[in-house]
Amino acid sequence: MKKAIALFICVLLGSLLGYFSAPILFMWVAQSSEPEMFTGSMLANYKSSVVCECNDRPPSEGVKELSEYLSILKGLRAQNQGSKMLAQEVGLGSVRLSTLESKLNQRVQADEDMRRGQEELAKLGWKDFSKAHLTSLVSQLNSEYKPFDRKSKTLSTSVTAQ
């Protein structure tokens, strides 16, 4: 009987140890075997929090968040010079930053960031990188990150007879 209890305790402790150590080990394995995929998923999570935060915060706080995001993107891009995804994110991030700076009446800095964004996207072969088009595109992309408002939207629709 004592052996069965000892075995049960060992199995229970082993299961708990495995339960808590498996995610940590998986992160290590994923990061070491597929660094691009791991970095991409972490970057996507960070981007969604920055963009969504920028929609809900005053523009001055959004400028700070986007500046930090752009510095991370530029650091990652320095490590991977040929990444078109990072180049596109840097370009669109610069346009996002420009729109927020425009709201704060920082025209010189907004124009400089818009120019940087346009240059990045032009290098990628974008056909239309005009200020109006990029501003519209970024606002449309940002709207996809807004949280769902349960009060103003209905989850089901009703059919009406005509």
Q: Rounded to two decimals, what is the model's pTM? A: 0.66
Q: What is the pLDDT of residue 17?
A: 87
3-state secondary structure of 53: helix
Q: Are 76 and 43 in contact (CB under 8 A)?
A: yes
Q: What is the pLDDT of residue 56?
A: 61
Q: What is the pLDDT of residue 121?
A: 92
Q: What are phi and psi of 18, to 5 degrees?
A: -65, -40
Compute the chain's Rg from CA coordinates: 23
Q: What is the pLDDT of residue 158?
A: 45
Q: Are 117 and 94 in contact (CB under 8 A)?
A: yes
List average pLDDT for each run of 10 residues in the chain, which is 162 residues long.
89 88 80 66 71 67 86 87 86 90 90 93 90 89 67 49 45
CA 66 to chain CA centroid, Å, is 11
In the 8-state DSSP scheme, what is residue 147?
A: P
The domains of the chain, with CATH numbers, are 36-143 (1.25.40)
Q: Are 66 and 100 in contact (CB under 8 A)?
A: yes
Closest CA to 94 of 61, 131, 60, 144: 131
Q: What is the pLDDT of residue 52?
A: 66
